[in-house]
């Protein structure tokens, strides 16, 4: 592995002598940001449809924040600018997800979660009470 790391120009990346708290923040940010891919891929495969869970947006937000702070520490404006505004869509998607989840109806007969505008339960067919949205 040492010759491979040297070949791609990363010979000292994993050397213990170069590690400090800030390097740990940067690598943690990379790990958190990458983990969102694993979460999204796993749930998509599990449900057999494209799924972007709220955990994806939380991991995106945490990873981007860690990488932004690391960029600030380095004083690298390219790095800083790359993560300075990525939090906006992440937070917006979390807000949308929260509003959507809060608006769901619960079927009294089978306890299935139904969309706010549904008049009948998609699972058992029971008529749902009409709300402001329905």
- pTM reported for the whole predicted model: 0.70
Are 18 and 67 part of one and the same domain? yes
Are 43 and 56 part of one and the same domain? yes
Closest CA to 70 of 101, 114, 78: 78
Are 51 and 97 part of one and the same domain? yes
Please count the residues of the chain: 134
Confirm if 99 and 69 have CB atoms less than 8 A apart.
no
Are 65 and 124 part of one and the same domain? no
Cβ-in-10-Å burial (0-12, 13-18, 19+) of 75 comes to: exposed
Residue 134 confidence (pLDDT): 40
Residue 4 confidence (pLDDT): 64
Residue 76 confidence (pLDDT): 92
pLDDT, block means (10 residues), the chain with 134 residues: 61 64 92 95 94 94 96 94 95 93 83 84 85 51
Count of domains observed in the chain: 2
Are 7 and 59 part of one and the same domain? yes
Residue 87 confidence (pLDDT): 94
Residue 133 confidence (pLDDT): 46
Are 36 and 84 part of one and the same domain? yes
Residue 84 confidence (pLDDT): 94
Are 25 and 79 part of one and the same domain? yes
Residues 6+ apart with CB under 8 A from 118: 105, 128, 134
Are 94 and 109 part of one and the same domain? no
Residue range of the domain that includes 73: 2-103
Are 42 and 88 part of one and the same domain? yes
């Amino acid at each position: 592995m040492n010759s491979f790391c040297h070949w791609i120009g990363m010979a000292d990346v994993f050397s213990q002598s170069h590690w400090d708290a800030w390097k740990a923040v940067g690598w943690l940010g990379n790990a958190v940001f990458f983990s969102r891919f694993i979460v999204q891929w796993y749930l998509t495969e599990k449900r057999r449809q494209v799924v972007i869970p709220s955990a994806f947006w939380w991991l995106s937000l945490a990873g981007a924040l860690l990488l932004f702070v690391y960029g600030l520490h380095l004083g690298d404006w390219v790095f800083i600018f790359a993560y300075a505004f990525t939090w906006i869509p992440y937070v917006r998607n979390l807000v949308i997800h929260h509003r959507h989840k809060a608006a769901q109806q619960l079927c009294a007969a089978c306890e299935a979660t139904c969309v706010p505008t549904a008049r009948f339960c998609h699972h058992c067919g029971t008529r749902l009470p009409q709300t402001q949205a329905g």
